[in-house]
Amino acid sequence: MKLNIGCGMWGTTGNPWPDPTAYNSDFGAPLPGWVNVDYHLPHGILPEHNFVQHDLNVIPWPFESNSFDEVRAYHILEHLVDLLSVMREVHRVALPDAKVDIVVPYAGTVGDVGNMAHRSHFNHRTFTYLCEGVETNDLDFGKKLFRMVRQFLREQTFEEFEGIQWRHANLQVILSVVK
Dihedral angle sign, alpha carbons of residues 21, 12, 167, 147: negative
Find the distance separating the first CA and the last CA of the chain, reported in whole Å.
Answer: 18
**What pLDDT, in 10s, does the model give residues 55-65?**
999 999 999 99
List, in order, residues 6 or more apart from 71 with CB less than 8 Å away. 2, 3, 4, 5, 90, 93, 94, 98, 99, 100, 101
Are 27 and 8 contacting, i.e. CB atoms less than 8 angstroms apart? no
**What pLDDT, in 10s, does the model give residues 44-53?**
777 778 999 9
To the nearest whole percent, how much of the chain has pLDDT over 90?
54
**What pLDDT, in 10s, does the model give residues 21-34?**
443 345 667 888 99
CATH code for the domain defined by 2-177: 3.40.50
Q: Domain ranges in the chain?
A: 2-177
Exposure of 56 by Cβ count < 10 A (0-12 exposed, 13-18 middle, 19+ buried)?
Answer: buried
**What pLDDT, in 10s, does the model give residues 149-170?**
999 998 778 888 899 888 889 9
